[in-house]
C-alpha cells in the first residue's frame, strides 16, 4: 500500500450479503477498539479498522483539534483525503466494495468530513455522537446514501443544535439521513447497538 497507509486490522467477511464496514475509533482508541461493535451490528461483514495517525497527548485521533469541539479544519480536510486514499487502496488489496463507515466521536467526525469531501469513498455511514466537521463544507452530492446519526440527549461534548445542523447538512447534500437522539451521554449505549444493527439489516436488505 502507498504512503496513505494506516496501521489497521482487516477481518474478511464470513457471510455473503453483509456490507463491508469501515470502523473509525474515538480519541484514544485504536484499530482493535470497534471490532466487537462491528461484529455485533453486522455479523458476517468484512471489517476494515484503521488507527488514527494524529497523536494528542499520546492518544490516537483522526485529525487535530485546537480545543474540545474546536477542530483544525485544514487538518480535517487533509486527513479526510488521506483516509479516502487508504480506503481506495484497501478496497483493491482486500477486494471489498465501498464500505459503510461506523464512526464513534472523533471517528464519526472524520467520517462526516469524508462524506462531504470525498463522497464516493463510502457507501453510507453510522455516525455515533458526531459533530459538524467543517464550518464551510464544499457542496457535496451524496445521491441518496444512507446515513444513521445517533446523538446523546445529555452529551456534554456535542450540543443538540450541532448534531441537528449536521443532519440538515447531510440531508441537503442528498443523503437519506435518519437522526435519532437517545437518552444517553457521549458514551455508547445498548440502544446504539440495537438501532445500528436494525438499520444495517435494512440497508443490506435494500441492496440485495
pLDDT-derived band at 208 (thresholds 50, 70, 90) equals confident
CATH superfamily ID and name for 8-207:
Alpha/Beta hydrolase fold, catalytic domain (3.40.50.1820)
Averaged over 116-122, what is the pLDDT? 97
pLDDT at position 1 is 41
Determine how many CB atoms are found less than 10 A away from the CB of residue 1.
Answer: 13
Average pLDDT over the chain, rounded to an integer: 95
Q: What angle is formed at CA 92 by the lines to CA 87 and CA 63, rounded to 5 degrees?
A: 15
What does the domain layout of the chain look like in residue ranges? Answer: 8-207
Q: What share of the chain is helix, strand, coil (3-state, %, to 5)?
A: 35, 25, 40
* Cell numbers that stand for 34 in this block: 470497534
pTM of the entire structure?
0.96
Question: Can you tell me the distance from the alpha carbon of 116 to that of 134, in angstroms, rounded to the nearest whole number?
Answer: 9
**Which residues are identified as catalytic?**
105, 155, 186
pLDDT at position 68 is 84
Amino acid at each position: 500500500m502507498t504512503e496513505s497507509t494506516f496501521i489497521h486490522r482487516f477481518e474478511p467477511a464470513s457471510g455473503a450479503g453483509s456490507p463491508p464496514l469501515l470502523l473509525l475509533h474515538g480519541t484514544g482508541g485504536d484499530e482493535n477498539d470497534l471490532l466487537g461493535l462491528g461484529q455485533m451490528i453486522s455479523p458476517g461483514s468484512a471489517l476494515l479498522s484503521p488507527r488514527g495517525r494524529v497523536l494528542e497527548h499520546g492518544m490516537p485521533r483522526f485529525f487535530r483539534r485546537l480545543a474540545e469541539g474546536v477542530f483544525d479544519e485544514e487538518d480535517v480536510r487533509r486527513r479526510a483525503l488521506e483516509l479516502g486514499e487508504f480506503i481506495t487502496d484497501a478496497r483493491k488489496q482486500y477486494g471489498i466494495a465501498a464500505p459503510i463507515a461506523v464512526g464513534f466521536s472523533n471517528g464519526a467526525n472524520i467520517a462526516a468530513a469524508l462524506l462531504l469531501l470525498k463522497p464516493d469513498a463510502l457507501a453510507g455511514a453510522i455516525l455515533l455522537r458526531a459533530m459538524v466537521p467543517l464550518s464551510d463544507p464544499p457542496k457535496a452530492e451524496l445521491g441518496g446514501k444512507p446515513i444513521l446519526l445517533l446523538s446523546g440527549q445529555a452529551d456534554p461534548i456535542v450540543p443538540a443544535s450541532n448534531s441537528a445542523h449536521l443532519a440538515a447538512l447531510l440531508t441537503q447534500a442528498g443523503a437519506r439521513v435518519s437522526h435519532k437522539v437517545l437518552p444517553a451521554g457521549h458514551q455508547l449505549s445498548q440502544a446504539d447497538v440495537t438501532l445500528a444493527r436494525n438499520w444495517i439489516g435494512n440497508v443490506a436488505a435494500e441492496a440485495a
